[in-house]
Amino acid sequence: MPTQPPAHPADNSAALTLFVAMSGFMVLSVGDSLVKSLAGEWPASAVAALRYLVAAIGLGAFLGIRHGPSIFRIPRPGLQMARGAAIAAATLGSFFGVQLIPLADAVSIAFISPVITALISTLILKEPAHWTVWVSIALAFCGVLIVLRPGLSFDAARLFPLAAAFSLAILVILNRKAAGLAPPLVMQFYVTLTALPFLIPAAVIGHFSGLPALHVPVPTPHVLLIVALVAVIATTGHMLVFIGTTRLSASVVAPLTYVQLLTAGAIGWIFFDNPPTLSTWIGAAFIVGGGLVLFQHQRKRA
């Protein structure tokens, strides 16, 4: 009887790398769920500010020991501040989104970001676009409209993850301009550090705005623990994804990001009693379809 040929070591290595990257994307959804768990206990603005403060201190200490004080000489500070503003806006939009609407809806809308990047690159930066790019844009925006449900059961809070997606698209474009200025982990420290001048004032302004939902009470040990976990989980998730993209091409790893949709849907259903609606799944399918068309085009072009 013929026997199955043994698996090639390279195949096992590729499969393990894909699993590592996929685990990273799943971990990021766990971080979103922890942010959502603080809804009503601590506002998203304060969660974002403290999360980045913890990450900046941790990364700064680690990199300072590893590279010395040279890491605090920030190259092109204006560009770094722009990156910080973009990630701050994206974080605020994302955190408010996951606290105010079902987790699966927030994650679905946020996934339009790569398509928005392509749209900005085409219309504003005048980069040439293949017809498949326009197909991906059309599919993704149809999906967002289905998830947003304008005119039916529209909830203005659904605009928060949409704003986050636009901000992330801008960050991607700014990252292109900053490429090569420092090693990746140092660049992560710079964007974390430069986000704080925007996130801390946002939390302070919200606290003194008089809006009860933005009032920042003294954090309990539970809040401090959750925020610290969010910072660690986000760093771990991005690290796992980074490992995947260094060992396999980004075009192979990128489609795995959509496992976040399944993870967010399952977590929202099990822990927050928010089962994804039919419109969420249909809209997410359009968004994923648009993203996959775009990824396939970029892979062929590469």
Return the sign of the alpha-carbon dihedral for residues 161, 163, 166, 170. negative
What pLDDT was estimated at residue 290?
78
What pLDDT was estimated at residue 249?
57
What's the pTM?
Answer: 0.82
φ, ψ (nearest 5 deg) of residue 180 = 85, -5
What pLDDT was estimated at residue 95?
93
Asked whether residue 5 is assigned to any structural domain, the reply reads no
Asked whether residue 6 is assigned to any structural domain, the reply reads no
Asked whether residue 219 is assigned to any structural domain, the reply reads yes
Please state the separation of Cα 143 from the chain's center in Å. 18
Asked whether residue 2 is assigned to any structural domain, the reply reads no
What pLDDT was estimated at residue 82?
95
Asked whether residue 180 is assigned to any structural domain, the reply reads yes
Instruction: Indicate the DSSP class of residue 112.
Output: T
Q: Which positions ≥6 away from 31 have C-beta within 8 Å?
A: 229, 230, 233, 234, 237
Q: What is the CA radius of gyration of the chain?
A: 20
Q: Is 84 helix (H, G, I), strand (E, B) or coil?
A: helix
- Domain of residue 124: give its range: 20-301
User: What average pLDDT is seen over the chain?
Assistant: 83
C-beta of residue 176 within 8 angstroms of C-beta of residue 127: no
Asked whether residue 284 is assigned to any structural domain, the reply reads yes
State the number of CA atoms in the 13 A half-sphere of 53 facing the CB. Answer: 14
pLDDT tens for each residue of 169-223: 898 888 888 888 888 888 889 999 999 999 999 999 999 998 998 999 999 999 9
Q: CA-to-CA distance for 278 and 119, rounded, in angstroms? A: 28
pLDDT tens for each residue of 140-169: 788 888 887 765 566 788 889 999 989 988
- How many domains would you assign to the chain? 1
Q: CA-to-CA distance for 265 and 242, rounded, in angstroms? A: 24
Q: pLDDT under 70 in the chain at which residues?
A: 1-14, 125, 127, 129, 150-154, 242, 245-256, 297-302
Asked whether residue 12 is assigned to any structural domain, the reply reads no
Q: Is 238 helix (H, G, I), strand (E, B) or coil?
A: helix
Identify the burial level of 78 via C-beta atoms within 10 angstroms of its C-beta, where 0-12 means exposed, 13-18 middle and 19 or more buried: exposed
Q: CA-to-CA distance for 70 and 62, rounded, in angstroms? A: 13
What pLDDT was estimated at residue 1?
46
Asked whether residue 228 is assigned to any structural domain, the reply reads yes
